[in-house]
Amino acid sequence: MNIKAPNANLIVFVCVFLLAVSLAAPSADALVLGTDITTYDGSSSSSTGWYGKQEDQEVEPGCAGNQVWDLEGFFLKGSELQAVGGFDFKNGVANYPTYTTGDIFIDTDGSTNSITQASNGQTYVDNNFGYEYVIDLSFDDYSYEVLKLNPDSTTVTVYYSQNQNTNPWKYSSGGTEITGGTFAYYASLNDADVDGLQGDLHYAITGFDLDFISGMAFTSHLTLGCGNDNLMGSGTAPVPEPATIILMSTGLLGIAGVGRKKLKKFHMANG
Ligand SMILES: [Ca+2]
Ligand SMILES: [Ca+2]
Ligand SMILES: [Ca+2]
């Protein structure tokens, strides 16, 4: 039988086709938001508008009312916490290099507190503001650490003393690391990408796993280095579904079964 060598042109075509497919593939999964769990932050000077009681198209009273400073929503997708803003979480706003994204603070006992700042400044304070946990973000490698805070933990306040109700801004030191992971950063999102939030240009950070507080009601908090906008959320972290546990157990049993069969064969071959 005469077997023909593969057509060189066909090989080139297939290679180019595969390259084109790989280049066309999205670099990250498309953003899918969960349930909006955003709550009123308790600070407003009017019922609507930039100083209103909503969170989208809103900042704190007296602050810069602009999409680039707007934090817009916390979302919960299963046990994954997500945040959306007109503010660029990674790059901030041009000419304001110190007003960066804060860390995500989590309260689980229903009690937070504030302090009185005498003057402006991003001040280090021995105060966890009543938050039990912090998700400490690193945009260098999109990683995060979760720490259990204690009363001796140090945090950093927002710059403007008038915005002290938006504290804390960032985690500094103290507490105990309990888990960590990686998160995703999304840029150039339009209104339709973020469930109709307004402002035409949005950013998102997703992938924060709340399994460390599974089954617990929580309040989440995030702000910027200036305290321009305070973002608050409220929800309950789900407990892992029994079905997941059963599947995991079945998988483990399956692996154990294969192991036993292989072992049996080994004994038979050498018996
Ligand atoms: Ca907005
Ligand atoms: Ca807002
Ligand atoms: Ca706000």
The pLDDT value recorded for residue 12 is: 57
Q: What pLDDT is stored for residue 29 in this prediction?
A: 83
- For 154, the token pair is 């140090």
Give the pLDDT confidence score for residue 25 in this predicted structure. 47
Nearest bound ligand to CA 203?
Answer: 1
- Taking the centre of ligand 3 as the mean of its atom positions, its distance from the CA of residue 162, in whole angstroms, is 14
Query: How many angstroms is it from 46 CA to the middle of ligand 3?
Result: 13
CA 27 / ligand 1 centre spacing (Å)? 26
Length of the chain, please?
271
Instruction: Indicate the domain borders of the chain.
Output: 23-240, 242-271
> Distance from the CA of 69 to the center of ligand 2, in angstroms?
8
Nearest listed ligand to the Cα of residue 57: 1
pLDDT of residue 147: 98
For residue 230, give the ligand nearest its CA: 3
Residue 261 has what pLDDT?
46
Q: What global pTM score does this model have?
A: 0.81
Please give the distance, rounded to the nearest whole angstrom, from the Cα atom of residue 231 to the centre of ligand 3.
5
- The DSSP output letter for 61 is T
**pLDDT recorded at residue 20:** 54
Residue 55 alpha carbon to ligand 3 centre in Å: 5
Q: Running along the chain, 271 residues long, what does each successive block of 10 average in pLDDT?
A: 56 54 58 98 96 98 97 98 98 97 98 91 96 98 97 94 95 98 98 98 98 98 98 96 63 51 44 36
Q: How far is the CA of 199 from the centre of ligand 1 (A)?
A: 4
Task: Report how far ligand 2's centroid is from the alpha carbon of 7 (Å).
Answer: 61
Q: How far apart are alpha carbons 160 and 227 in whole angstroms?
A: 7
Q: How distant is the alpha carbon of residue 115 from its chain centre? A: 26
DSSP count for the chain of H helices, then E strands: 2, 15
- Residue 122 DSSP label: -
